[in-house]
């Protein structure tokens, strides 16, 4: 899988320091800001997507989210070894559709359900070992640990990571600097909204089916280039 | 890399212009380690209560011939209840999903509330803390009455002096910055020399941003019957 290999942590930190009075913030501190910015960006956009192939043990009611993937945070979809998808479902739906869902088992599960961020359920509970299930996930962001590590975000978005770090740095200063830096945070969030709007605009069938139930009460930014 | 209480308090110290030492002490004497730990526990639990990010499920023994059913002591909020009169899941017990309801509904529509094999609903409106009520009360033989309960637990279990305790396994590192800002909001909103309402409101805004984001992801996949979707991001005002 290709990875970004353009900007190291050291380079990114120097970009941030160029915008600050560099002596007021240590390298360690700015590294922490970088980690935070990457994590917040990931939660805002679901940027760090991944795919795993797993085996799910038989007769297990509920798996740790790590069963979906080592660093998995949110599950997006699940498919079996025959490339057939399992449908997502919710506790409420299961309770209504199958009152005995906790006890029921099957050799061929049909649904998956994430409960909170920490648990994954396969329904009905598999009575045999399920091999070769592929999970598509959003992982926690693997933050850089060395100055030579490359930042796994595209250059087109990296400027907003710098902005977020400058915002956090100025928040430490307080007063007018902190107040004025809020515009940097707003720019960061706007860029995240643009990223999300592109994904939403390309989800043609989801729009046609009307599954964006919250869209009307939470209007999203229309992406400019994807129609 | 799992984020620990020392990681977060170190960053909190940097925000407060304190020498960072993993939260071991506060040189200005404006804050105490126990105070910061208390705010960290409070904000972690509040975050979880408002987002249902971290959910536990467990089998609990039911109480025979009683509406009152005991839960666990780290319980914060109920998500789903199932009941078996035939033993545990491992023992082949057959669980039934028990719908949520209210005592009023129970009283109006279940005219005979003598003990039954299978309760019709569970309520929290008339239950004591750390319990739920079954309408009607279930009866069972031996110790076969079991509940499979999904609930939101407390996740703030950090000691008064940070010692490297991490968030519970499964709680993602990516959500921890928002909890940190909740702690900072509390510290900036203290009375006296530390009072800084501007930074307090910005930090509170970041805490609330985290709640909205977590709810977007989780509600898309779990609690509402819709496909997973990208979160809507509301503007934040300083």
Q: What pLDDT, in 10s, does the model give residues B138-194?
A: 999 999 999 999 999 999 899 999 999 999 888 999 999 999 999 999 999 999 999
| Band of pLDDT at residue A224, cut at 50, 70 and 90 | very low
Q: Chain A contacts of B14, Cβ < 8 Å?
A: 29, 32, 172
| Same domain, residue pair A29 and A13 | yes
B223–A92 CB contact, under 8 Å: yes
What is the average pLDDT across A153-176?
Answer: 94
Domain boundary among A106, A124, A139: A139
Residues 38-67 of chain A with CB under 8 A from chain B are 39-40, 42-46, 61-62, 64-66
Looking at the structure, tell me whether residues A173 and A126 fall in a common domain: no
- Picking from B235, B15, B210, B67, the residue whose alpha carbon sits closest to that of residue A29 is B15
The predicted pLDDT at position A163 comes to 97
CA angle A6, A10, A15 (to 5 degrees): 80
A135 and A151 fall within a common domain = no
Clarify whether residues A63 and A105 are in a common domain: yes
Stretch B64-73: mean pLDDT? 96
- Same domain assignment for residues A192 and A176: yes
A131 Cα to chain B: minimum distance (Å): 22
Adjacency order of strands within the sheet including A49-56:
A49-56, A130-139, A72-79, A85-88, A111-115, A119-123, A63-64
Q: Which of A139, A163, A189 is the last residue of a domain?
A: A139
Indicate whether A219 belongs to any domain: no
Residue B224 has pLDDT above 50, yes or no: no
Q: What is the pLDDT of residues A170-222, one digit of tens each?
A: 999 889 989 999 999 999 998 988 888 777 666 655 555 444 444 444 444 44
Q: Are B132 and B81 in contact (CB under 8 A)?
A: yes
Q: Using alpha carbons only, what angle is made at residue A125 by residues A124 and A127, rounded to the nearest 5 degrees? A: 115
pLDDT band at B233; cut points 50, 70, 90: low
Contact of B33 with B20, CB cutoff 8 Å: no
Rounded Cα distance between B31 and B37, Å, is: 11
In terms of domains, do A27 and A68 share one?
Answer: no
Q: Does B226 touch chain A (CB under 8 A)?
A: yes
Is position A222 within any domain?
A: no
A105: domain range? Answer: 49-139
Domain shared by A60 and A123, yes or no: yes
Residues A125 and A179 in one domain: no
**Dihedral over alpha carbons B218, B37, B160, B46 (to 10 degrees):** -40
**Number of structural domains chain A divides into:** 2
Domain annotation covers residue A184: yes
Residue A116 within a domain = yes
User: Do A22 and A91 share a domain, yes or no?
Assistant: no
Do A163 and A208 fall into the same domain? yes
pLDDT for the residue numbered A214: 43
- Contact list in B for residue A46 (CB cut-off 8 A) is 217, 230
Q: What is the pLDDT of residue A87?
A: 92
Asked whether the predicted pLDDT for residue B75 surpasses 60, the reply is: yes
**Beta-carbon count within 10 A of B139 CB:** 16
Residue of A74, A88, A117 to mutate, interface with B, max B Cβ within 10 Å: A117
In a domain, A227, yes or no: no
Contact map slice: A 108-147 vs B, CB within 8 A: 113-119, 138, 140-141, 143, 145
Write out pLDDT tens, residues A61-96. 999 999 999 999 999 999 999 999 999 998 988 999
In a domain, A176, yes or no: yes
Residue of B15, B229, B235, B237 to mutate when probing chain A, most A C-beta within 10 A: B229
Does residue A133 share a domain with residue A108? yes
Kindly list the residues from chain A whose CB atom is less than 8 angstroms away from the CB atom of residue B175: 43, 117
Please identify among residues 66-95 of chain A the ones whose CB lies closer than 8 Å to any CB of chain B. Answer: 66, 73-77, 88, 90-95
Residues A74 and A183 occupy one common structural domain: no
pLDDT value of position A92:
87
- pLDDT tens-digit map of B104-150: 999 999 988 888 999 999 999 999 999 999 999 999 999 999 999 99
Q: Is the pLDDT of residue B219 over 80?
A: no
DSSP category for residue A108: S
């Amino acid at each position: 899988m290709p990875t970004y290999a353009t900007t190291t942590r050291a380079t990114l930190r120097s970009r941030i320091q160029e915008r600050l009075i560099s002596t007021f913030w240590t390298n360690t501190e700015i590294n922490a800001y970088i980690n935070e910015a990457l994590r917040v960006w990931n939660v805002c956009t679901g940027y760090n997507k991944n795919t795993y192939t797993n085996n799910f043990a038989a007769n297990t009611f509920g798996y740790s989210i790590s069963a979906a993937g080592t660093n998995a945070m949110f599950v997006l979809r699940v498919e079996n070894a025959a490339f057939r998808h399992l449908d997502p479902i919710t506790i409420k739906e299961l309770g209504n559709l199958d009152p005995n869902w906790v006890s029921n088992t099957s050799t061929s599960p049909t649904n998956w359900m994430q409960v909170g961020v920490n648990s994954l359920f396969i329904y009905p509970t598999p009575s045999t070992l399920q091999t070769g299930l592929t999970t598509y996930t959003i992982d926690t962001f693997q933050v850089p640990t060395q100055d030579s590590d490359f930042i796994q975000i595209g250059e087109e978005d990296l400027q907003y990571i710098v902005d977020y770090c400058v915002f956090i740095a100025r928040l430490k200063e307080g007063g007018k600097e902190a107040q004025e830096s809020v515009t940097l945070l707003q720019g960061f969030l706007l860029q995240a909204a643009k990223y999300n709007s592109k994904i939403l605009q390309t989800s043609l069938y989801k729009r046609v089916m009307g599954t964006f139930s919250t869209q009307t009460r939470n209007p999203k930014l229309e992406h400019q280039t994807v129609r | 890399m799992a984020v620990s209480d020392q990681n977060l308090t170190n960053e909190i110290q940097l925000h407060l212009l304190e020498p960072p030492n993993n939260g071991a002490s506060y040189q200005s004497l404006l804050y105490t380690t126990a105070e910061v730990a208390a705010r960290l526990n409070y904000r972690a639990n509040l975050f979880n209560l408002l987002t249902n990010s971290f959910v536990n499920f467990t089998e609990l023994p039911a109480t025979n011939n009683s509406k009152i059913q005991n839960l666990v002591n780290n319980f914060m909020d109920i998500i789903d209840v199932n009941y078996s009169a035939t033993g545990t899941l491992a023992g082949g017990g057959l669980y039934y999903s028990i719908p949520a309801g209210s005592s009023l509904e129970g009283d109006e529509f279940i005219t005979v509330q003598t003990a039954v094999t299978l309760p019709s609903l569970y309520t929290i409106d008339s239950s004591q803390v750390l319990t739920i009520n079954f309408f009607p009360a279930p009866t069972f033989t031996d110790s076969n009455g079991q509940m499979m309960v999904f609930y939101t637990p407390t996740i703030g279990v950090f000691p008064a002096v940070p010692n490297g305790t991490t968030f519970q396994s499964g709680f993602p590192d990516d959500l921890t910055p928002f909890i940190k800002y909740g702690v900072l909001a509390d510290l900036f909103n203290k009375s006296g020399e530390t009072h800084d309402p501007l930074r307090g409101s910005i930090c509170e805004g970041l805490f609330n941003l985290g709640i909205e984001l977590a709810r977007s992801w989780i509600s898309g996949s779990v609690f509402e019957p819709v496909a997973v979707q990208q979160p809507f991001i509301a503007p934040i005002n300083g």
